[in-house]
Structure 1
């Protein structure tokens, strides 16, 4: 069983998710409203099966989950963490929480040399998040075409193309706490 790491800051607990977090994570994503909302089952499963490459943030005062990143190790690129969803409660935005979650995931997963994510061009917060991360950790980034609109079902008229962000290689500094 995976070790359930927990990092304590003044305002938050950063930790790996458990299956018990699946319901609250689903509620967080639903509350945010601008992410693709998957079934509650998928979040329970994700929090159980992909806990090693995902993170939840619990607000100390309210004990509510206010942040979540779902990620997985890319099956064809052993050193690449693929980020699927980044969720931050509207009450916690503007505090750098998404960046702190990504940095914590990198600290927990030392084998990660690259981060990848797909981002719609109109999703400015995610564009800024991933480019800002690359700048913060002083590494390279590459943005390329990935999913075109015709990859999505015709019924999904609102889904725009997704660009692939690739960030890395990571520079390792074992003596520095990232968050």
Structure 2
């Protein structure tokens, strides 16, 4: 990483109100599940899946902790097996008491900065899906693209009719590239 890239990444790591970004641990799974449940906007996965996520995908996920070490926000992600240069962001959620302070943006910036300096191949693409009308997520990922000087492309990835329960909106793929290395 060049000095300019390190400086750019350090600017994105400013945390609101003394919170810190960390890797999730299995013990954080229950708190992540509760934060997702209480968001009332995310598709809630089983509590078991959050435990697995904290075990198997901790390296590509991040948690924000308060002064006592309790999770107050998270981003879960993974590298696509067929495209290991692509970080897929699965969920981003922040506890209601900490919303509106830039924590979701700090989590995304912190995670991608950690991956860029992690010693392995750094992702050059970030992908996520957002349902139409989820304005907060649309703004979060558009501002991420702007801060990192990347393009943002959108296209429907999964049409509503593909979901077997019939009660799901389409999922629009947001593809952000290239990420700074």
TM-score, with normalisation over the residues of structure 2?
A: 0.85
The Cα shift of 1:77 comes to 0.9
The Cα shift of 1:55 comes to 0.5
Gapped regions of structure 2 (runs ≥ 5): 1-12, 117-121
Q: Which has the higher helix share?
A: 2
Note if 1:95 corresponds to 2:101: yes
* Count of residues in Structure 1 that have an aligned counterpart in Structure 2: 163
Q: Which residue pairs with 1:161 in the alignment? A: 170
Q: What secondary structure sits across from 1:82 in the alignment?
A: strand
Greater relative CO (CA pairs within 8 A, separation 6+) = 2
Select which of 114, 120, 137 maps to 2:148: 137
Q: Which residue pairs with 2:73 in the alignment? A: 67
CA deviations over 1:49-73 (Å, ceiling 9, x no partner): 000000110111x543110111000
Matches within 5 A, 1:8-23: 9=15, 10-23=17-30
Q: What secondary structure sits across from 1:47 in the alignment?
A: helix
The Cα shift of 1:139 comes to 1.2
Matches within 5 A, 1:13-162: 13-60=20-67, 62-110=68-116, 111-153=122-164, 155-157=165-167, 159-162=168-171
Deviates further, 94-103 or 25-34: 25-34
Give yes or no for contact 1:8–1:14 (8 Å, CA) kept in 2: no
TM-score, with normalisation over the residues of structure 1?
A: 0.86
Q: Following superposition, which runs of at least 4 residues in structure 1 exceed 3 angstroms of deviation?
A: 7-10
Q: For the residues of structure 1 that align with 2:82 and 2:54, how far apart are their CA atoms?
A: 22
Q: For the residues of structure 2 that align with 1:109 and 1:59, how far apart are their CA atoms?
A: 22
Q: For the residues of structure 1 that align with 2:14 and 2:180, how far apart are their CA atoms?
A: 24
Cα RMSD (Å) of the superposition?
Answer: 1.5
Gapped regions of structure 1 (runs ≥ 5): 1-6, 173-179
